[in-house]
Structure 1
């Protein structure tokens, strides 16, 4: 799949953008990222037209592989394939490679576990499954956030058709691995090998919990990072291709999550500052709109709000109401926190004159400050800052590496006037080597422990090892039995975190038209009557909710226990009241 994505990216790279050969280094990572964007756009077309089927998806994969083979064969004939060159300091290079590989180890195992994370079971996977099963894009109003932009979930839908849920995890993880490659190459290009190594390790430490999920944050980070790198390369070269790539990658991000709209003012201001030609502006606007325009235009036409439900206070609410809107932001306040301390050294970069003098440093500092202030003023939830984790990790690593280098120069005997240069050269490798080996030992031990938590749960069979899902997914055993029953039309209370494993089209949510809030506190007779009127014949309740409803003496007259487990109970509805 990676090779196919790279092939699609190469087609865009050489055929439209006319950029340098993307066979190694920073360009190779950007090319694969661009290929993911081409795949998203192609899947949009297939899904809107009702052709999101295994046949067309396989054809896309084969076409990408053909393009990749063609490009590599052409490069081989022209002698343009990259060749390995022995690094000047093999021991230091091996140490850096060991640190990055150790940090990568848990991320190789995490995607191979069955889905258990809350949001992936709540709406990421359920939306993707609906499209994979129907072969077309639909608005699934019984699921949370049915009107969101869903570029990444289209990739998930294709992955479900091809190889199932583990392929979805691997698609998401691939975005994280591409981010790692880009971070390392940025460190090499603009700083030093040690900065590249340390920044990559920081990024992997911060993002590791999400490699085993079908969340979209790693893909969103990849798109924002690619847009940032392409913008930087455009600022350096003024080449049209870099500007178009930056616009397209930001469009992919905006088409993946509303949150990415917050980055748009900064990017537009930077682009407009350097580019005034109407033709270039029109081309950039088209490149931006192609990957994201469908979602916002659809919302505007069908709901009157291009960013529904977030625009409810201004455009009017569609399937949400004011209670939903307020409850969503209260939930964000509940999870508000601060970023990991690994990113805090980036604050010192603001007082680093060398960074302000360099184009890359100014862009990284400007993006980091803007994104952090935006995050602080809005969500204050660390996962929502993830799109700039790579940039902040690079800034933190730069501060630490340069600070350590300055400290080594002041080491006794290393920088004292009159000391021989040979002494200075002898001290630095000893200090850095000792620190590097210590870091490798600590990193290796930490990575091994984290990887061992995943290894016993690798899904060598559907659902993972016996009992794995039952231990980690609320009411999984009950929901599994109910899925075997025919004709269930279920409404659920407080089990939305297990919705992916519930019977098909189970209704019941915190927000939206099927909100639980409208049913809580109803007398048993009124609850049964309302559920009957809406076509339900079964109700699923978390055990504590069932106990609360069961305090009504009339509850047993209208609801008969159908099945239960330790977490929840299922009731069948009796005759209408």
Structure 2
């Protein structure tokens, strides 16, 4: 029932999103090439973006609370109820049934289902993933508790654009901290379905099925990180851009399909990009290519002005706030250009050194991009060619700026689709070569049978892998407090210490060392980080007496120390004269900061 309840809550929110989005799309009109399934997903994505704007507005006003969130969802459900009859009539009026699935397509469906099984279970585990505990969920919790947007300098990224985290804040108001996983997963599932439908529309059903499975396997469904939500909005923007491009194409009579509707799709694409840019800075890297794509066809200032307004609506708050208060609209990554504020030059260097240290290659499934120009779909479909250009551009910018795998996530859905087109071209060419060099086998059908059995073998192996991963994910589900505690103590280093401090420190601040990825489970707030104004290097390098005196002067009561840092601190002469052990578990420790010796009560 635990999983059913959470998925039911996510489904209710999804319907509310669709209600708002469908109302918006009905005002814009229908795309030139009808695909009701794709339109439904686009409507849900648009509604999700509108919820971001609604939550942002009420949080700016300081009115973000349980009642306002419930009211917004109720309005979305009302909009869905009003839109449902027309939508159902459209579904019943589909012109023709889809063609039967071939044997290979059935194998692809099996692969997709096997990939989906673990992804359905993963979100139900308690939060245990690095950045979601470091700043994504802590920020969402602050919004939920305070009812307003704020700058919290104890977080690693206090000036970050936090659009999608507002969806998580609403989830925390109405449910537990597992629900944000489901609402992050909602963005993932919408993008998976869109990849499938785009594949069907512009390449083939087989391409769509495999591409959806690839993106589903790469995407992160187990956490409240915002990468797959940014990927959804970038994908939706690209889809809306292509609808705009098709609406501007000359019809049989030489006239545009719909001159009035085209700019509306362009405005919608800009809105999606604005939601993405208000969720993560990396989404900004898409803008130069999009601007080049648009300016080739559209130069009217009025159209550009409306599109710019739609782009700024979801994201201008974050960038304007940063520019006004710190001088850096992209704080902290624009520090070298606009000046340092909460970070210094060493912090900036350390952060980018850390990104480079975790650099890697793209997932192996994505290398098919290299072979896309040899595919038949490349020759037939302008959309495939445009998606290939987008993919190559994204990979180039990513390789030039970071090579950090998560920073590529926003572009992966389209890259996956293009890659499958490329792999199909490569495998098709290999099959043709085998038919030429083995004509006897080809005539007897041995090659086709071998290919079928190879496909069956892949699916059979996938069954084992899928059930292993799903079983491991089921074991992570915690439906009782005892199960939750056991899971978190096993998965989150220092959880027990942070939880102890949350329950026992009530008057002063807590400073953490080497436990920045655990602060969500500590008292709010928890100060201290490797970078920023509360950097370790400004504290722990001091002699114990001065370290304790500085912490006391800033109102700190206790420190939490990760297992990796405990030996270094305790080895300093006199450390235990100024810090008293409060709690010790799994190597991590909590210490109370002792008053000066002359102020201590004599025995």
The change in CA–CA distance for 1:347 and 1:402 in structure 2 (over 3 A counts) is closer
- The SS at the match of 1:319 is coil
CA distance in 2 between counterparts of 1:403 and 1:77 reads 42
Q: CA deviation at 1:155?
A: 0.6
Match of 1:531 in 2: 551
Q: In the TM superposition, what are the counterparts of 1:336-415 in structure 2 within 5 Å? A: 336-352=359-375, 355=378, 358-408=381-431, 412=435
Match of 1:469 in 2: 488
Contact preservation (8 Å) 1:230, 1:242: yes
CA distance in 2 between counterparts of 1:30 and 1:414 reads 47
CA distance in 1 between counterparts of 2:100 and 2:566 reads 68
Could you tell me which runs of 5 or more consecutive residues in structure 1 were left unpaired when the two chains were aligned: none
**Correspondence for 1:246 among 269, 280, 302:** 269
Contact preservation (8 Å) 2:514, 2:564: no
| Higher mean C-alpha displacement, 466-475 vs 330-339 | 466-475
CA distance in 2 between counterparts of 1:398 and 1:86 reads 21
* 2:234 counterpart of 1:224: yes
**Normalising by the residue count of structure 1, what TM-score does the alignment of the two structures yield?**
0.93
CA distance in 2 between counterparts of 1:240 and 1:193 reads 30
Contact preservation (8 Å) 2:360, 2:405: yes
Match of 2:24 in 1: 12
Match of 2:120 in 1: 108
**Correspondence for 1:130 among 142, 156, 178:** 142
Q: CA deviation at 1:87?
A: 3.4
- The SS at the match of 2:76 is helix
CA distance in 1 between counterparts of 2:466 and 2:512 reads 39
CA distance in 1 between counterparts of 2:384 and 2:263 reads 22
Contact preservation (8 Å) 1:75, 1:81: no
Q: CA deviation at 1:429?
A: 6.8
Cα-to-partner distance string for 1:287-323 (whole Å, 9 max, x where unaligned): 1110111100010111111011111112111111111
Q: CA deviation at 1:471?
A: 0.6
Match of 2:194 in 1: 182
Q: CA deviation at 1:6?
A: 0.8
CA distance in 2 between counterparts of 1:323 and 1:361 reads 44
**Correspondence for 2:471 among 452, 464, 469:** 452
Q: CA deviation at 1:82?
A: 5.4
Contact preservation (8 Å) 1:414, 1:427: no
CA distance in 2 between counterparts of 1:476 and 1:32 reads 37
Q: In the TM superposition, what are the counterparts of 1:290-329 in structure 2 within 5 Å? A: 290-329=313-352
- The SS at the match of 1:274 is coil
Cα-to-partner distance string for 1:6-63 (whole Å, 9 max, x where unaligned): 1111111113x23359882221211111111001000100110111111111111111
Q: CA deviation at 1:271?
A: 1.1
Contact preservation (8 Å) 1:100, 1:200: yes
Match of 2:8 in 1: none
CA distance in 1 between counterparts of 2:96 and 2:124 reads 31
Pairs aligned (count): 569
- The SS at the match of 2:560 is strand
The change in CA–CA distance for 1:358 and 1:556 in structure 2 (over 3 A counts) is same
Q: CA deviation at 1:92?
A: 5.2
Q: CA deviation at 1:230?
A: 1.4
CA distance in 2 between counterparts of 1:535 and 1:81 reads 68
Match of 2:258 in 1: none
CA distance in 1 between counterparts of 2:533 and 2:93 reads 56
The change in CA–CA distance for 1:108 and 1:82 in structure 2 (over 3 A counts) is farther
Q: CA deviation at 1:273?
A: 1.3
Could you tell me which runs of 5 or more consecutive residues in structure 2 were left unpaired when the two chains were aligned: 1-12, 249-261, 598-603
CA distance in 2 between counterparts of 1:437 and 1:449 reads 19
The change in CA–CA distance for 1:411 and 1:540 in structure 2 (over 3 A counts) is closer
Q: CA deviation at 1:439?
A: 2.8
CA distance in 1 between counterparts of 2:203 and 2:385 reads 14
CA distance in 2 between counterparts of 1:539 and 1:570 reads 6
* 2:246 counterpart of 1:236: yes
